[in-house]
Structure 1
Amino acid sequence: MIIEFEGEIFRWDARDDSAWFFTAVPPELSEDIREIPRPYRGFGSVRVRARVGGSEWSTSIFPSSQSGSYVLPLKKAVRDAEGLVDGGPVLVRLDVLDG
């Protein structure tokens, strides 16, 4: 399953003074992903191949306890390469590998 969406980048401050950056998969697409039969993985994660601009990487998306949508972590190398900033837009393509 391949999905594309535009999201907003948001920051989550970890307890150890480091920050993580994410974007949320829209609720309707998160529901489609949730319906794919697959074995349970830690934290309810789903393996994906992500693409933002010219950057592509393997990672996992995780269900957010606050929104119920999946969230995609955006690592620093990708943010730097693609000029992504907190609060800015991001166009994402996900190839869902689990399922």
Structure 2
Amino acid sequence: MNPALVRFAAPLQIWTNEAENSSVGFVILPAEAAEQVAGHELVRRLELGKRRGFGSVKVTATIGDSTWDTSVFPQKGRESWFMAVKVAVRRAEGIEEGHLVEVELELH
């Protein structure tokens, strides 16, 4: 099976945990991209007979010149998915909170 490609643009968001003095950058997949990922996850679950941890889907993500292996996760209580964007990628690509990020996901 060839990996499926999903492309989308979404604003970078930052969640800050002040108690631990840390933050996480992430994007929320728009509806069309979320549907593609959800369909892929369903097919994989039927093939394997089980879900991956938290219902996640393994991906190879690309933003600009940065490519890395990660996972996308379903948002609890919502019809969407989210993906963390590592600090190293944010720095390398010069992206900050609110910037529109062009993302390509290769679904595994």
Deviation at 1:82, TM superposition (A): 0.1
The yes-or-no answer on 1:4 pairing with 2:7 is yes
Q: 2:72 aligns with which of 61, 72, 76?
A: 61
Q: What amino acid is the match of 2:94?
A: G
Deviation at 1:25, TM superposition (A): 1.1
Q: 2:32 aligns with which of 14, 18, 28?
A: 28
The more displaced of 51-60 and 10-19 is: 10-19
Q: What amino acid is the match of 1:2?
A: L
Aligned position for 2:86: 75
Per the normalisation by structure 1, the TM-score is 0.90
The more displaced of 33-42 and 88-97 is: 33-42
How many residue pairs match? The answer is 97
Could you tell me whether the CA contact under 8 Å between 2:63 and 2:102 is conserved in 1?
yes
Q: 1:46 aligns with which of 41, 53, 57?
A: 57
List runs of 5+ in structure 2 lacking aligned partners. 46-50
List runs of 5+ in structure 1 lacking aligned partners. none
Structure 1 segments (4+ residues) deviating >4 Å: none
**Structure 1 residues 66 and 85: CA distance shift in structure 2, 3 A:** farther
Q: Based on CA coordinates, which of the two structures has the bigger radius of gyration?
A: 2
Task: Specify which structure has the higher proportion of helix.
Answer: 2
Aligned position for 1:16: 20
Q: Identity percentage over the alignment?
A: 36
Deviation at 1:48, TM superposition (A): 0.2
Give the superposed CA RMSD: 1.3
How far apart, in 1, do the equivalents of 2:76 and 2:98 lie? 20
Deviation at 1:18, TM superposition (A): 0.9
Q: What amino acid is the match of 1:91?
A: E
Deviation at 1:66, TM superposition (A): 5.3
Q: What amino acid is the match of 2:68?
A: W
